[in-house]
Structure 1
Amino acid sequence: MLDEDDRKLLRYWQAEPTLSQGELAERAGMTTGRATRRITRMQELGVVKGVGVVIDWGALGYAVEVSLRVTLDKTQGNAFDVFLKEAREVPEVIEVQTFLGRVDVRLSIIARDMAHYQQIYRSRILTLPHISEIEALMHVARIKTSEGLPL
């Protein structure tokens, strides 16, 4: 689906998302028009979903991150759908992942401090439907984070 020129554009764009299409084209060794057509095609194909901003939550005063492993009561036919719909509504939930296995869902939660986390946990998390078990993992350090691909 992608050729080497597409990969080249993506490599440079991943490394520096603020580059203009002209700058990308120059680095990739092609004209701006050609680069723009390729980028537009990759966006239309869904290869590039968007360009965003990465926020440092710690710089905004969120010092606590907790990962919750949630097992749902699957005796209810719609447990997943209802739980996921309501979990998405909790503003401090920054990530939701589903799994096959003993753990059904993982929620990543940010909070200003432990008191704030406890308030979120008691008032928002424990009120989510169909929870049968929760295991909390306190985030200590993020060693590697990457959404980029080795192109």
Structure 2
Amino acid sequence: MKNQVLLLLLSTIMLVGCTSSGAFLAANQTIVNLEDGNYTIAATNVMGESESAFVLGLSYSTGLSATTLAIARVEGTGMLYAEALENLWTNFELSGEEIEGQKLALTNVRYDSDILNLVLYTKVKVTVRADIVRFD
């Protein structure tokens, strides 16, 4: 009986849970010529953040990607990179800039992750920083 309960518990743990991984890794590139003076720097070092927390899990970062394997998410949506980029654009708008109708691009994009791993709890925070260029 004890072995059956243990087997059931281990099976449940293996089948139930969540994982989160992602980064903005584009396979295509667009080349823009910035030599003709057809642009201005709209903002520098604009930042966006997002975080998620999980129980009974482990998080790690491998450069551009932060990965979590856990039983359950208790905070955030798990869409760290998408939310961080959305937060970056929101922060740009809060600085008094208009996005709608503008020709804007992110340059010098940098990703950072901060991970807290405890025995029963793990928390991941992703920060995206970029400069914003406005084309004339």
TM-score tier by shorter-chain length is under 0.3
Which has the larger share of helix?
1
Which has the larger share of strand?
2
Which structure would you say has the larger RCO, counting Cα contacts within 8 Å and 6 or more residues apart?
2
TM-score, normalised relative to structure 1: 0.24
